[in-house]
Structure 1
C-alpha cells in the first residue's frame, strides 16, 4: 500500500550517526510511526484470500517457501517491536539497538518476500506439500534479483515520501537530504530493472517471454515511464506528485509479473484450476466487499490526517486551522450506493449478487475519495 516505503524508511536509519543521523532517525520514525502498521492490513488480506480462494497453491507456496516466509515474519515482528518500544523515548544504547533492529528488519523482510516471489515467478514452486527444494526455491538468480529490487525500491519510495514530509514540516535541509537519496536510489533501481531481463533470459525464460511481449510488456513500459517521470519530479523538488508516480511504477511492475505468468499460477496449475469452489469464492467476494466499506474510509481518514500535518510534533489543537463543515450531500449517494449493494448482495444470487458486490466496492471507493479529500480552511 505504501509501495514499500515503510520498509525503506527503516533502511535509511542504517548508518545514520551523529547529530545529523539523529535528525534522520527522528524524522523517519515520526513520518512512518502513524501509518506503518496499516500495511499489515494488506499483508493479512493477501494471506487470507490466498489460502481460502486458492488453497492448493497456498499450501504449495507456504510449504516450499517456509524459510523466506519465516524470515519475513521475523522481520515484521522485529520492526513492530522497534516502533512500539521507541514510543517510550529510550536513550543511549537502547535507542541505538532499536534503530539497528528496525534497519535490519527493514532489509530482511522485503528481501525475503522478494526472494519468495522470485521463486514463484521462476517456476521453482511445484504443486504439492513441500514439493520444491527448501533452499534453491528462493536462493537462485531470479530470487536474488527480485529480492534486491524489492529492497532498493523500498528505499527509493521511502526517500521520496520522507522528502515530501520534511518539506511539509519546513525541514528543508532534511528534504534536500532525502531528495539526493531518492535520486541515487532511483538510479540504482533503474539499473537493476534494466539488467533484470538479462538474468531472467537465462534463469526464467517463460517469465522473460511474458514480460517482453503482450500485456506484460505494456506493464513494464508503464513502470519505466512512471519511474523516469518520478526521477524528473524529484529532481525538480515536486515530491507530492512524485509519491503517486512512484507508487504507480511499483504497482505496474507487480502487475506485469502477474500478466506475464497468466494463466499459470504454479507449474502445471492455472489460476482457474487453483481456485476454490464457487460457494467459497462468492463468500470471499461478499466478505471483501463488506470489509472494504469499513477499511477504505478508515485508511483515507488516517492518511488525510497524516498528510495534513495533524500528527506533526508540537501541533496543538489550537494550532489547527478552523475548518468549514462538510456538506452532507456527497455522503448521500455514497450511502445509497453502499446500502443498495449490501441489500442486493444479501438478497439475491447469481449475476445480481455480482452487481451487489460491485456496488459495495464502488461505495468503498467513493468513501475513500470523500474521506481523503482535504478540508477547506475557514478565513
Structure 2
C-alpha cells in the first residue's frame, strides 16, 4: 500500500539530508583533530569551527525528523532497533551532547590547556557519533536485528564485520563531505592557503572513502549475503553506480577547484549509497518484518504525513534563509573573540566538582546501559542530573565572575 511507504520515504530523505549536512559537520571534527600544531593548525581548526558553528544545531533537525517519523509510523521496527542496538545509539547520543557542549565553550576561554581539552573532546565526539550510527546501519543491513524487545545480541549485533566497516565508512564519508565544504568556504573567505589545504584533504579522503566502500561491499559478500545481492542487482546496483559516478565527478571537480558543483556531486554520491542500502533492504525492514506489517494504522500514518507537510511550510523556508545568511557571510562567527575577562579569587573552580561530574556520569552510564529494572534506571537519571550540577560548578564560576567584573 502506498500510504505505508510514504513515511518511510520521508524518513529516508531525512536520513540523506542528515548524512549530507550533519555528516559534513561531524567530518570537520576529524579534520580539527588532524590539523596539526602551530599557527597553521590553529587556523585550520578555527576555520572548521567558524564554517559550521551557525548551522550545526539546524543539521540535527533531520535526525529528529527521522526518529519521530520512524517511532510513530513503524513502532515495532523502532522498538526492535532501539532495544537491540541501545549501546551504539546511546554512545552516539553522548557524542552529540558533547559536541554541543564544546561548541558552546569554544569561545569561552583563551587558556591553551582548556582550549586543547575542548578541541580534543570535540574531535573525539565527532568521530564517535558517526561511527556508532554507521554500526547501527550495518547491523540493520546485515539482518542482525530480529523483531522483538532486545531480541538481538546487545554486543555482536553491532560489532560484526559489516557494522564495523559501515561505521568506518560513515566517518570517512563525513570527512570527505566536510573537506569539500570547508574548501569552498575558505575560498569564500578569500583564504587561499586554507582552501588548498582542505582541497588536498578532500582528494585524499575521496580516494580513501572509495576504497572503503569497495572493501565494505567485499565484506558484505561474506558477512551479509542478502545485502550484497541487493547491492549488486536491480535498483540497488543502479544506486551504487550513480553513487560511484557522482563520487568520481566530485573528485574531478575538487581537483579543478569547482567547489560549488563538487558539493552537489558529493551529496549525490552519499545519497546514492543510502538509496542503495534502502533498495537492497526491501521488502523487509527487519528479518520477517515487511513495511506493511511494521506500519501503524492508517489514521496515524495520515496524521504524521499531514503534520510533516504543514511543518515543511515553516521548516524549509527557515533553513533556506539560514543557509543563505551563512553562505553570504552574514553570520560569520569569526568576528567573535574569546573571552578574556579577569577572574577573581572567588571564581576559582573547585577541582573536586569536575571529578564528581565525571564520576556521576560514569555511574549513570553504567546503570543505564548494563543494569535492568526501574530502580537502576531511576538512579541513572538522577546521576545524569547531578552530573549537570557538578559540571556547572566546574565550568560556570569563571563566566559568573566575568559578568560581575564588567562595568554596568
Which residue of 31, 34, 39 maps to 1:12? 31
| Distance (whole Å) between structure 1 residues aligned to residue 120 and residue 322 of structure 2 | 28
Alignment of 1:291-302 (within 5 A): 291-302=311-322
| Distance (whole Å) between structure 2 residues aligned to residue 113 and residue 39 of structure 1 | 15
What is the RMSD computed on CA atoms of the aligned residues? Answer: 1.2
Alignment of 1:1-379 (within 5 A): 1=17, 2=21, 4-16=23-35, 17-312=37-332
Shift of 1:40: 1.1
Q: Which runs of 4+ in 1 moved over 6 A?
A: none
Shift of 1:94: 1.1
Is the 2:22–2:60 contact (alpha carbons within 8 Å) kept by the matching residues of 1?
Answer: no
Where 1:130 maps in the other structure, the secondary structure is coil
Comparing 173-182 and 7-16, the one that deviates more: 7-16
| Distance (whole Å) between structure 2 residues aligned to residue 104 and residue 310 of structure 1 | 30
Shift of 1:89: 4.5
Is the 1:3–1:247 contact (alpha carbons within 8 Å) kept by the matching residues of 2?
Answer: no
| Distance (whole Å) between structure 2 residues aligned to residue 125 and residue 87 of structure 1 | 42
Shift of 1:74: 0.3
The unaligned stretches of length 5 or more in structure 1 are 317-379
| Distance (whole Å) between structure 1 residues aligned to residue 328 and residue 232 of structure 2 | 41
Aligned length: 316
Shift of 1:196: 1.9
- Structure with higher helix content: 2
| Distance (whole Å) between structure 2 residues aligned to residue 215 and residue 87 of structure 1 | 48
The unaligned stretches of length 5 or more in structure 2 are 1-16, 337-408
| Distance (whole Å) between structure 1 residues aligned to residue 304 and residue 223 of structure 2 | 36
What do residues 327-356 of structure 1 show as CA deviations (whole Å, max 9, x unaligned)? xxxxxxxxxxxxxxxxxxxxxxxxxxxxxx
Give the TM-score normalised by structure 2. Answer: 0.76
Shift of 1:314: 6.9
Shift of 1:229: 0.1
| Distance (whole Å) between structure 1 residues aligned to residue 22 and residue 276 of structure 2 | 15
Where 1:13 maps in the other structure, the secondary structure is helix
| Distance (whole Å) between structure 1 residues aligned to residue 106 and residue 54 of structure 2 | 13
